[in-house]
Each structure stands twice: as structure tokens, then as C-alpha cells.
Amino acid sequence: MSKIAVIGIVGESVFLPVKRFHQGEETVVATDIHREWGGKGYNQALAAARHGASVSFLGAVNACEASAITQYSRQNGIHATLSIKNEASPYAVILTDESGANHVTVCQGARLSSDDVRSFACEIASSDILLLSNETDTGVNDEAMRLAKAHGVRVIYNPAPARPLSPAVLDGVTLFTPNEHETKGLEDKANVVITLGKKGCLIRKSGEMLPPFPVGQAVDTTGAGDTFNGVLSVALAEGKSLREACRMANAAASIEVTQRYVANAIPFRHQTENILWENT
């Protein structure tokens, strides 16, 4: 079994489906409300766990949510290491329109520290791949990079939300996975897979574009990139080629967008493999 370590945020995500997004300062009425545990890193961890990996996750939360998140994580095959902080837990509001597009607003809340990462060192050292993103602070990611390098652990880095990357990240990451709006600073890097939404993904080194799979109509794109990254990490940890891993990640993301919200939309491995088998 492959082992994936993920460092990110976890907290409550509130989804509000709307017919269309706001124009100017108008008020828009949502058609429903849905709550679940989420966050970019946590969604990635959930996708990896559902595709057969042993997953360790590090995040920071307020004590009020710690027990519920730990229990939910255990139920979904994630070993969650939660650093308890005085600040409120992370919180996100996601608006989704009738086309499936989304607008996301995040309050990052409780923040990890470099000390928290050092307490997670054994999980990093024993992993096949460490999965990072820009939702955690630069110092946190730099410390995680240092530990991964010391133990020969490969790093997949999702540079979202976009921000300048540190030298430690630019020089040490095994594979970057930006979307088309997050490639600034990576122009001279060949170790890049660019996710392109409904167009699939582009492997920069080979120049190959891999299209998504014809699964069904997209109704909610929230979490598609997180699903892609989680599944990609599992496939690479299992020794699949980059092309094979991207196809598997594309298949999982193609399924994920056909359902509303994220937690229940992230597919399990057998669903992803069925799509791959049907499209061989």
C-alpha cells in the first residue's frame, strides 16, 4: 500500500447553490445550503484515501471542531494529526452557479507552524509522497520540504492559491500541478502538469494534452483539482508513469464534477478504474 502525507487546512465548508453569480452589489438568493468538512489539503487527503493509499494529514483547528474532524477522518481512512490553536478553525463559503462554476471565499483561521511540521516528521519520512499547496504558509512548506529532502520523499506541490514560491519549493519539488492561472514563476520548469478544467491536463515535458473522460455533465467543479492531485499522488506512489497517473487523475476528476459539493462527490477507486477500463 502506498503512503501519502498531506499538509493543508481543514474546516467547515458551506455550499450555496445559486442560479447565477452576483452582478455589482445585488443580493442573490441561494437555492439550498450544504455543510461538510473540507479544505484543499483535506480534500486531497480524502481523494488519496479513497484510491487505496494510507493517508496522514496535518492541519490546525480550534478545539471545538477537533473531535468531530478526527472522527470523520477515521471513518474515511485518514489519520489526522490536528494541531489545536486558539483561533477559529478554517471556514469556506462556496457559491456554485447553474453551469457548475464556483466562487470560493476562505477564512484560513487557525494556522500551522514550523514546529507543527516537525512534530509530523515521522509521517513525512515514512511516506512515498508528500502533498503540499499554497494554503499553508511559506515557512510551513519550507520546513516540510526540508524534511522531505532529508528522507528522500518526493513532493507534489499544488501552487494554489497563487503566490510567489520560495527557493526551497522551486528547487526541491518533484512535480508542480498548477492550473492555467497559477503558472507564474514556473515558466522554466519542465516538471509541471497543468490542469485545464474541462480540457483535461497538459504534461509540459512531453507537450501531451490528456482530455477529460466523457462521464456526464459537470454540475459542480468545486474540488476537481483537489481530487486530481490526491489521485495523481497515489498513482505515482504506486509506480505508474506520469501519463498513466494523469489519466487516472483525470478520470477521477471527471467523475467528481458530476455531483454537487465535494466530500460525497470524490469517487472511490473502483469507480475511477471502471471509467479507465471503459475508455481503453
Q: Residue 280: is its pLDDT beyond 90?
A: no
Residue 92 is classified by DSSP as E
Q: Residue 12: is its pLDDT beyond 90?
A: yes
- Confidence (pLDDT) at 100: 83
Q: Which residue, among 105, 104, 124, 106, has the nearest Cα to 114 in the 3D structure?
A: 124
Window from 26-30, 98-102, 111-115, 252-256 with minimum mean pLDDT = 98-102
DSSP state letters, 173-194: -SEE--BTTS-TT-TT-SSBEE
Q: Which residue, among 139, 136, 140, has the nearest Cα to 90 in the 3D structure?
A: 136
Q: Residue 39: is its pLDDT beyond 90?
A: yes
Q: pTM (2 decimals)?
A: 0.95
Coil, strand or helix: which one is 118?
helix
Catalytic one of 116, 128, 220, 226? 226
- Average pLDDT estimate for 179-191: 96
- Confidence (pLDDT) at 24: 86
- Average pLDDT estimate for 28-34: 94
Is 128 part of the annotated catalytic residue set?
Answer: no
Within 8 A by CB and 6+ apart from 274, the residues are none
